[in-house]
């Protein structure tokens, strides 16, 4: 079971550790949310799971106890040392812990021979959620992700075209994953309590997921940085080859969209078709 708020406070004091806001250190203290995370991820004995920012090991312990093999990356040296002295000792063959930055090691140094298939279950540090997600979407792709996120980030990732929240990361994510029912999480489920609401985002890999090339990702990001501009002028501004621009616009035309369409109004599936014209 997760530590209570008072037990969490006591353990942090014993470690001489103050939660670091810049690392998003809000520790989960609600056992129901831990179980919900494992339930959504459909954790079974033998599953290979990546965890980001295991912290005090609340979620990690539940994953390991349920028989998962966990690969985790923890940036905080004090918390890494605590996990080395506890869960690494208790689960020496199934807990693989890396001290490092999740942006540099988005899959916690998961070996290639352990990545087919694998899952991600994590209370993701909110400050790194989008760059981390962007890195993961470059592949190899986990078959399922259950991520504790700031509710605003979860809404942005799952936003539909035509909304102000629809963005480049929405396109990259929705081209590879279906968004399954998740779970809202109150701030009282953490110690210390964050100032925002959280959400368990539940993603299931599509049967034929699409991964954008770095070049096309850069182009789509550039379009959304000027999202109020029309797509025709954005393409001419960002693509040197006029033939490629014409090809993009032809794809849009077959979908009933004109060069005056704004990026946020183009559905995610169309961007995957457009990407082929930039190669």
Q: With beta carbons less than 8 A apart as the criterion, state whether 146 and 37 touch.
A: yes
Annotated binding site: 26, 28, 53, 74, 101, 123
Residues whose CB falls within 8 Å of the CB of residue 92, separated by 6 or more in sequence, listed in order: none
Q: With beta carbons less than 8 A apart as the criterion, state whether 259 and 236 touch.
A: no
- Tokens representing 53? 């920012």
Annotated binding site for S-adenosyl-L-methionine: 26, 28, 53, 74, 101, 123
Can you tell me the distance from the alpha carbon of 270 to that of 261, in angstroms, rounded to the nearest whole number? Answer: 13
Question: Listing from the earlier edge strand, what are the strands of the sheet with 48-52?
Answer: 95-99, 69-74, 48-52, 119-123, 144-150, 198-205, 177-185
């Amino acid at each position: 079971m997760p530590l209570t708020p008072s037990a969490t406070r006591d353990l942090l004091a014993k470690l001489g550790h103050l939660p670091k806001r810049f690392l998003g250190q809000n520790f989960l203290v609600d056992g129901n949310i831990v179980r919900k995370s494992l339930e959504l991820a459909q954790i079974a004995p033998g599953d290979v799971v990546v965890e980001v920012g295991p912290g005090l090991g609340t979620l990690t312990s539940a994953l390991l106890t349920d028989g998962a093999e966990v690969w985790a990356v923890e940036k905080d040296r004090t918390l890494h040392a605590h996990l080395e002295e506890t869960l690494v000792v208790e689960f020496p063959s199934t807990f693989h812990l890396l001290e490092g930055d999740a942006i540099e090691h988005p899959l916690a140094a998961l070996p290639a021979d352990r990545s087919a298939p694998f899952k991600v279950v994590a209370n993701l540090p909110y400050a790194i959620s989008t760059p981390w997600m962007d890195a993961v979407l470059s592949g190899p792709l986990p078959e399922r992700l259950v991520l504790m996120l700031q509710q605003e980030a979860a809404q942005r990732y799952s936003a539909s075209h035509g909304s102000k929240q629809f963005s480049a990361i929405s396109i990259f994510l929705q081209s590879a994953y279906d968004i399954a029912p998740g779970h809202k999480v109150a701030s009282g489920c953490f110690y210390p309590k964050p100032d925002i609401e959280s959400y368990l985002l539940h993603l299931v890999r599509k049967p034929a997921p699409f991964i954008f090339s770095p070049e096309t990702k850069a182009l789509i990001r550039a379009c959304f940085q000027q999202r109020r501009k029309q797509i025709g002028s954005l393409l001419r501004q960002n693509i040197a080859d006029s033939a490629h621009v014409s090809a993009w616009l032809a794809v849009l035309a077959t979908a009933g969209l004109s060069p005056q369409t704004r990026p946020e109004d183009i559905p995610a599936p169309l961007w995957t078709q457009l990407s082929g014209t930039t190669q």
